[in-house]
Amino acid sequence: MGLAKTELFTQGQNTLALFAKAFAHPARIAILEQLFKTEGCVCGDLVTEIGLAQPTISQHLKELKNLGLIKGNVEGTSVCYCIDPDNWQKMKQEMEVFMNQDTAAPEDCC
Amino acid sequence: MGLAKTELFTQGQNTLALFAKAFAHPARIAILEQLFKTEGCVCGDLVTEIGLAQPTISQHLKELKNLGLIKGNVEGTSVCYCIDPDNWQKMKQEMEVFMNQDTAAPEDCC
DNA sequence: TCGTTATATTGCAATATTACGATAAATAGT
DNA sequence: ACTATTTATCGTAATATTGCAATATAACGA
C-alpha cells in the first residue's frame, strides 16, 4: 500500500516516526550537520558541499522546514537556513525518552 | 528515482540514516516499545497488540532484525523476539552524537 | 502420520520517496 | 528595464515502502 496506518498508533509514536523520517536520508543528515558546523548559516553552499542537484537540496530543505527542525530567512537573493534550536530540543527529548527505555527482559531472554 | 545516492555521503551519515529508517514507521516504534515493556519477549502477541496483519508485522520484525536492533529465538512453534542490548547501545551512541551537536550559528542568525 | 498453531515468504497493488531537468519567481546591480 | 544570481516549484521517471491475501514452512501434540 505504501501508506502507514497512523490511526493504529499513538500520537507519540506517529510524531516520533515523523522525526525519524527526517533523519532517514543521508542527504538530510548531511544538510543538518552542515547547518550545525557553519557559523554563518549556509544557503546554496549546501548544493556545492553535498553533490546533489539544486532542486533536490531545495526539496530536502523544505521537508526539514515543514517539520520545524530548521528555519530559513530570505537575505537578498539567497536564503539563510539554520537549525531551529527550540524544536530541535523537543525532538531530542522525545527521541531520548524512546532510546533510553530499559528492557524488562532478563539477560538470557534471547 | 527513489534511490538514495549513498556514495555521496560518509559511512557515518549512511548508517545513521539506516538506523533512523528503522524508527521512521510507527509500527516499528510500537513493536520496539512492546519489546521493551514486556518481561518475557512477546512474539505473535505483537500482531494482536498492534492492529496490523501478521505478514506485515513479520516484515517489520525482519527489518529490525536485519539492522541488528532486535534478535529472535525459535521456541517451539513460536519465536521470541527481544531488543539486542549491545547494538541498541551502539545505535543510541551514534544518534546522540548527532543530536547533541552544538550550533556554531549566533542566536539572531535566522 | 495428521492436524493444529505460529511464523515466514511470495506476489502484488497502492502509495511514497528520491532525483533532476525545465522553468518560474524574487531580488540585486547596472 | 535588463541581466545575472539564487532559490522554489512543476513535472516526471525510477525506485522504495507499506500492507495484506495466499501460501509455505516448521514444530508440537495426539
Task: Give A82-102 pLDDT, tens digit per residue.
Answer: 999 999 999 999 999 999 999
Backbone angles phi, psi at B72, to 5 degrees: -130, 145
Across the interface, of B4, B72, B92, the residue whose CB is closest to A25 is B4
The domain locations on chain B are 11-96
Between chains, do B82 and A110 touch, taking CB under 8 Å as contact? yes
- Residue B60 has a pLDDT of 98
User: Could you tell me which CATH number the domain at B11-96 has?
Assistant: 1.10.10.10
- Asked if A60 and A27 count as a contact pair (C-beta separation under 8 A), the reply is yes
- Asked if B15 and A24 count as a contact pair (C-beta separation under 8 A), the reply is no
What's the mean pLDDT when you consider all of chain A?
A: 93
Between chains, do A13 and B24 touch, taking CB under 8 Å as contact? no
Nucleotides of D under 7 A from a protein CB: 4-11, 13-22, 26-28
User: Is A40 or A76 the better-scoring residue by pLDDT?
Assistant: A76
Pairing verdict, β B78-83 and B70-75 = antiparallel
* Rounded Cα gap, residues B88 and B74, in angstroms: 21
Question: Rounded to a whole number, what is the distance in Å from the CA of B45 to chain A's nearest CA?
Answer: 15
Contact residues on chain B for A105, CB-CB shorter than 8 A: 35, 38-41, 82-83
Residues 50-109 of A with CB under 8 A from B: 50-52, 71-73, 80-83, 85, 88, 91-92, 95-96, 98-106, 109
Q: At what angle do helices A26-37 and A54-67 cross, to 10 degrees?
A: 80
Between chains, do A14 and B37 touch, taking CB under 8 Å as contact? no
3-state helix, strand, coil in chain B (%, to 5): 55, 10, 35
Rounded (10°) CA dihedral A64, A3, B25, B56: -160
Q: Which residue of A has its CA nearest to B69?
A: A99
Q: Which residue of A has its CA nearest to B8?
A: A51
Between chains, do B105 and A82 touch, taking CB under 8 Å as contact? yes
Q: Which of the four pLDDT bands, split at 50, 70 and 90, describes residue B43?
A: confident
- Asked if B52 and B27 count as a contact pair (C-beta separation under 8 A), the reply is yes
**Size of chain A in residues:** 110
* Rounded Cα gap, residues A82 and A62, in angstroms: 12
- CA-based end-to-end distance of chain B: 33
* Rounded Cα gap, residues B99 and A92, in angstroms: 6
CB of B9 within 8 Å of any CB in chain A? yes
Q: Which of the four pLDDT bands, split at 50, 70 and 90, describes residue B110?
A: confident
Pick the CATH number of A22-97 from 1.10.10.10, 2.60.40.420, 1.10.10.60, 3.90.1300.10: 1.10.10.10
Closest CA to A51 of B48, B93, B8: B8
Prediction pTM value: 0.94
Contact residues on chain B for A4, CB-CB shorter than 8 A: 25-27
Q: Which of the four pLDDT bands, split at 50, 70 and 90, describes residue B47?
A: very high
Average pLDDT over residues B43-49: 91
Q: Which of the four pLDDT bands, split at 50, 70 and 90, describes residue B109?
A: confident
Q: Which residue of A has its CA nearest to B87?
A: A99
- Residue A2 has a pLDDT of 77
What's the mean pLDDT when you consider all of chain B?
A: 93
User: Is B107 or A8 the better-scoring residue by pLDDT?
Assistant: A8
The predicted-structure confidence for B60-72, as pLDDT tens digits, reads as follows: 999 999 999 999 9
The predicted-structure confidence for B69-82, as pLDDT tens digits, reads as follows: 999 999 899 999 99
CA atoms within 13 Å, Cβ hemisphere of A72 = 19
* Rounded Cα gap, residues B19 and B22, in angstroms: 5
Backbone angles phi, psi at A26, to 5 degrees: -60, -30
Average pLDDT over residues B8-33: 98
SS3 B39: coil
Q: Where are the alpha helices (DSSP H) in chain B?
A: 11-22, 26-37, 45-49, 54-67, 85-99
The predicted-structure confidence for A11-45, as pLDDT tens digits, reads as follows: 999 999 999 999 999 999 999 999 999 977 788 89
